[in-house]
A and B are shown apart, each in its own frame.
Chain A
């Protein structure tokens, strides 16, 4: 009897609590809806950290409140998180998940509610929806994959590239882009294999790759699998140059490999904050390190820039979500990583770069910058 009464009380109190509280209506409310649990948690946490650093350094005269809500690994949780945010206050913008399918699920709801989503997701489809509330601050596959392919072919002189890619939305859309771009550049793929994120032993793939006699290895994998592939390739005696996806620029990925294994490895990315010597970036990196006890990567920096653009809009007089959206769609913003400007469809970032590891340090050097790759700036 007592158990039942206790249980009912707890249930009622919580049901009431869930619906009762809201945030202070005076401040601008910016919820952070990113995956901080599950297999995308690494990138999601970087998003969260970047957003928080921007919000904690809001410009003079702009007061913001923010909240972090996990979107986990499925679209339904993301939609629920957005619903919750919409109820807790009237957001002027929201930092949104890097995970493509979650963004696709949140997009219609954000459009109905009139809230711009600030994301770093690379999924191509996001900006093909005709949804004016999506703002992508990380260059899409149409930019980074061009840089990826062009570096391999034009700078490394690859004629027979091989590709290992992930069976996730990130991997599959990247593969589609790379295959097309490489063909157009006259160096079609001689080998490709899809790997699940849980694949541990890469030898089977590497064995088949070696048999195809490529001259460069392209990787489009998440962090752990990228490190695994490189390490196992080196251990199998495959010493070809490697041009990997954004995951390889992430400091957490580099930490998994030894300096010797990193020699000859390059990565595409939007930015590499730890490699930069520019004063503002150095300050950013130092503050990030102190605040979050981890190194920042391009995702954190992109999210930082995105939120800063929202804060700039607020400083410039935008009072509500609609005005913020219009500001984002029409202005150019000098972020730390690059200059951001909408191409009319929500793609804000148009630069990419290539970093390479020299085998003596875990901090990569920026070897080539590709500016305004899709011509939208």
Chain B
């Protein structure tokens, strides 16, 4: 074997961490409005392009105005600039999230969930082909969170970006969890997710909370997009793949559970990498789906018990 198991594990965890961010946004929307967001993958792709665009504008400015920053290679990799670009990306994506909720969800509030399927599919199409028309079809590389480069830790070569992805994803997931469980805003969001009528009755504006939930979900998708775009590039047609992984993670982890979704996403990332290393990529994909079917056969309600009753 040309690579050690720990090396493969690190890769799997890094990939899984990014998937977990995508799945997290997905679950938030499911909990808030009971509808599957088919545009989740395209939102991740949009986040990647937002990060690329911000980098293009920020780097020349940084090179001119900030002293002693190394400009390595054709991509913007001024050290630490990514730490500024990430929150900027998330802010832009949060605004996009508000727009998304106004277009794809708000007009269909009182309709059956399948209408929201279609509206999110439509917005996904707009995002994908809009990106194709505006940025062109070439793959782009996004900025590293801190800096490019590797270092060796025993038998393992770690890329700094990989570690940054794991760390950033961990922070964002924990942060979201804390926001939802400990803060007043989080309590309100959860109240609206569980019973909008009751929440309104006690004075919480369901409309505002849903909009905020979308903003948060899309901001998380955007962060995943940026984190993925450095190692794996971003192109307009990337959305479908991310959507699929998120959907699998959320369903297998127990519909509606944030911890289940994050956990399942990590599992998927590790599984993919390990299987591809020991068998082949094609088999890894086939085994992933076979595994999902097996899980559903054995535990028809997902790995962890689902917390919300079916609304779809």
Contact = CB atoms under 8 A, between A and B. Distances in A.
Interface of A: 36-39, 41-42, 44-45, 167, 193-196, 198-201, 203-211, 223-224, 227-228, 235-237, 252, 255-256, 258-260, 294, 362
B200 to A, nearest CB: 30
Contacts of A204: 3, 8, 273-278, 281, 284
A203 B232 contact: no
Nearest to A250: B138
Given A39-B237, A235-B157, A255-B74, A203 B281 contact: no
Most buried by B among A199, A260, A294: A199
Nearest to B148: A258
Contact of B137 (A41, A205, A211, A237): A41
Nearest to B12: A201
Nearest to B244: A198
A1 B277 CA distance: 61
Given A45-B136, A205-B276, A227-B233, A236 B281 contact: no
14 contacts: A36-B132, A37-B137, A41-B237, A44-B137, A200-B231, A200-B232, A201-B273, A203-B7, A203-B8, A205-B281, A206-B2, A209-B2, A227-B139, A227-B233
B11 interface: yes
Contacts of B3: 203-204, 206-207, 210, 236
A283 B136 CA distance: 24
Interface string B122-153: 00000001001000111111000000101000
Contacts of B141: 255-256
Given A207-B1, A228-B233, A42 B138 contact: yes
Contacts of A193: 280-281
Given A36-B132, A209-B2, A227-B233, 16 more contacts: A37-B129, A39-B235, A39-B237, A44-B137, A193-B281, A194-B281, A203-B8, A204-B284, A207-B7, A208-B2, A208-B277, A210-B3, A235-B150, A256-B233, A259-B74, A294-B136
Interface of B: 1-3, 7-8, 11-12, 15, 72-75, 129, 132, 136-141, 148, 150, 157, 159, 228, 231-233, 235-238, 241, 272-278, 280-282, 284-285
Nearest to B234: A224
A228 B136 contact: no
Contacts of A223: 138-139
A210 B277 CA distance: 12
A54 to B, nearest CB: 20
B137 A45 contact: yes
A236 B12 CA distance: 15
Nearest to B284: A204
B157 A236 contact: yes
Contacts of A255: 74, 138, 141
A195 B280 CA distance: 9
Given A193-B280, A224-B233, A256-B233, A37 B2 contact: no
Dominant secondary structure of chain B at its interface with chain A: helix
Contacts of B72: 258
B281 A199 contact: yes
B18 to A, nearest CB: 9
A362 B74 contact: yes
B3 to A, nearest CB: 3
Contacts of A227: 139, 233
A30 to B, nearest CB: 23
B137 A201 contact: no
Nearest to B150: A235
B2 A210 contact: yes
Nearest to B231: A200
A195 B285 CA distance: 11
A263 B273 CA distance: 27
Q: Please name the 6 residue pairs, one residue from A and one from B, whose CB atoms are nearest each other, closest first.
A: A210-B2, A41-B137, A207-B3, A204-B276, A204-B277, A258-B73
A256 B52 CA distance: 12
Most buried by A among B3, B11, B75, B138: B138
Nearest to B232: A200
Given A196-B285, A200-B232, A227-B233, A207 B277 contact: yes
Contacts of A210: 2-3
A237 B157 contact: yes
Nearest to B242: A198
A44 B159 CA distance: 34
B188 to A, nearest CB: 37
A330 B140 CA distance: 43
Nearest to B141: A256
Nearest to B237: A39
Contacts of A224: 139, 233, 235
A198 B2 contact: no
A135 to B, nearest CB: 25
B227 to A, nearest CB: 12
A210 to B, nearest CB: 3
Nearest to A236: B157
A239 to B, nearest CB: 13
B73 A252 contact: no
Nearest to B235: A224
A211 B2 contact: yes
A255 to B, nearest CB: 6
A255 B237 CA distance: 19
